[in-house]
Amino acid sequence: MKNADIIIWPHTKEDFYEYLVSLVKFDGYIDSNKRAVIYDPEHSFLDMVGRYAKMYFGANYSVVPRHNYNVNTLRIYGKNLVSEIKQELINFKLRTLNHVRGLFDAEGSIYNDGFGLRIEIKLKDRDYIKQLSKILSKFGIANYAEYDKKYFDPRKNKTYVYSRLRIRAYNDLIRFIKIVGIRQERKLHIHSYLESKSSSYDTTLL
């Protein structure tokens, strides 16, 4: 398995639209000027999202640094497209694999907890974690969901409640990245980790 094998972008206009709606839902918004706004640290990732929006919908876009924050801002201009996205966000539910891709790119992380690499998605809304768990299970990806956990932030002297989903087992990590894919450079380190462990596991998945 090579890096190119796990870099998966939606291949059709319909697939990209589902992905974009989910990305806006979980990592952006529709602003007062009827633009779709998305944040991410990686300029190249946002530029690629903008390129697809232009290719499929003829939408113009810009990517600029967000002042005083270590992120970049993608703005997508297109009255009809943005209006459709805004309508889709009403009562939005995770229903498709492309919705999962958008959520993972917006809120997913890959980290080492001392025992191995883990994929984690953390949200305030427990219903989306339930929907995500159900979709992943349909694809044979074992996952572990925890609901209504509390986290105290001493800097803000405030307690937050969140739910999260984790993927831990090697074979499930493999299935996830082969099905959902990676689109952000900062998450590609999972490839070398899985390759280094492949001799001990089911290599037919690679």
- The pTM assigned to this predicted structure is 0.91
pLDDT of residue 32: 84
Predicted confidence (pLDDT) per residue in 55-90, tens digit: 999 999 999 998 878 899 999 999 899 999 999 999
d(Cα 177, Cα 90) in Å, to the nearest integer?
Answer: 29
Question: What pLDDT score was predicted for residue 138?
Answer: 97
| Dihedral over alpha carbons 101, 95, 34, 121 (to 10 degrees) | -40
11-61 residue pLDDT tens: 999 999 999 999 999 999 999 878 999 999 999 999 999 999 999 999 999
Other CB atoms within 10 Å distance of the CB of residue 127: 12
128-148 pLDDT, tens digit each: 999 999 999 999 999 999 999
Which residues touch 181 (CB under 8 Å, ≥6 apart)? 6, 7, 8, 9, 101
pLDDT at residue 206 greater than cutoff 50:
no
Average pLDDT over the chain, rounded to an integer: 91
Does residue 1 register a pLDDT over 70?
Answer: no
Question: What gap in Å lies between CA 6 and CA 179, rounded to an integer?
Answer: 8
| CB-CB contact of 76 with 61 (8 Å) | yes
Which of 158 and 54 is assigned the larger pLDDT? Answer: 54
For residues 83-101, give the mean pLDDT: 96
pLDDT at 203: 46
- Per-residue pLDDT tens over the stretch 163-202: 999 999 999 999 999 999 999 999 998 888 888 876 554 5
pLDDT at 104 over 60: yes
The residue with greater pLDDT, 154 or 42, is 42
For residue 149, pLDDT beyond 80: yes
Instruction: Pinpoint the alpha helices (H) of the chain.
Output: 3-6, 13-27, 43-57, 79-88, 97-107, 126-138, 170-179, 189-197
